Amino acid sequence: MKKLIIIACIAIGFNAFAQNDAKAESLLKEVSSKIKSYKNISLDFKYELNNISENIKQETRGDVVIEGEKYKLNILGITRIFDGKTLHTISPEDEEVTISSDNSEDESTITPSKMLSFYEDGYSFKMDILQTIKGRKIQYVKLNPMDTNSEIKHILLGIDATTKHIYNLIEVGKNGTKTTLTVNSFKTDQPISKTLFTFDKSKYSDYFINKID
């Protein structure tokens, strides 16, 4: 599940601007400012994982609604609801609900609430290529982890030059694994239910409840 949540997809504050490309810095600040101006964000996305040497190829789709630290993520038939304090992972196939505390402090995991601005800390960055994709100008920024022990070789963050929204994220691992998240739909400030991020235990009375904290 970690790789599925690497998407993604938000630390606060750039700590190494002096080492970074000024144009890339300006662009990422603009993206970050715009993202933080929205009350909520709803994404539909495609997730691809490829490792040619291991003959691994996986592709799936998912959706997530994010409001501050709260989120509801659906992917691979599993629903993850985080209300700001507690994470509920619901697996209909296993008829199981796993309850745990927030895992955002795990540095190897970028949670949905971090997926749109994870790059603000721990990376140096510079401008990369500008591509036209389906009629859209996509400017890529290359991110290199500052931690030399990181499993990540580099990340390419694709940003729509017009909307300043994130279009895709391409993560290349040192083990040869390439993970790509492509945003198919980016909606903001949508009317959402007040209970969207609330786990309703009554709906899962027949499920096994697994508390791991």
Non-local (6+) Cβ contacts of 113 within 8 A are 10, 66, 68, 69, 70, 71, 82, 104
Handedness of CA 27, 182, 13, 125 (dihedral sign): negative
Q: What is residue 117's predicted lDDT score, i.e. its pLDDT?
A: 65
Q: Which long-range contacts (CB under 8 A, 24 or more apart) does 186-191 make?
A: 186/41, 186/42, 186/43, 187/41, 187/42, 187/43, 188/38, 188/39, 188/40, 188/41, 188/42, 189/38, 189/39, 189/40, 190/40, 190/42, 190/65
The average pLDDT across 154-159 equals: 93
pLDDT at 134 over 60: yes
Cα–Cα separations (whole angstroms), residue 195 to 82, 132, 192, 211: 12, 40, 8, 22
Q: What is residue 56's predicted lDDT score, i.e. its pLDDT?
A: 86
Give the C-alpha separation, 36 to 116, whole Å.
Answer: 10
Give the C-alpha separation, 34 to 13, whole Å.
Answer: 15
Q: What is residue 142's predicted lDDT score, i.e. its pLDDT?
A: 94
More confident residue, 41 or 118: 41
> Tell me, what amino acid is at 43?
L
22-190+204-211 — its CATH code?
2.50.20.10
pLDDT tens digits, one per residue of 43-77? 999 989 898 788 889 899 999 999 988 999 998 89
pLDDT band at 103 (very low <50, low <70, confident <90, very high): low
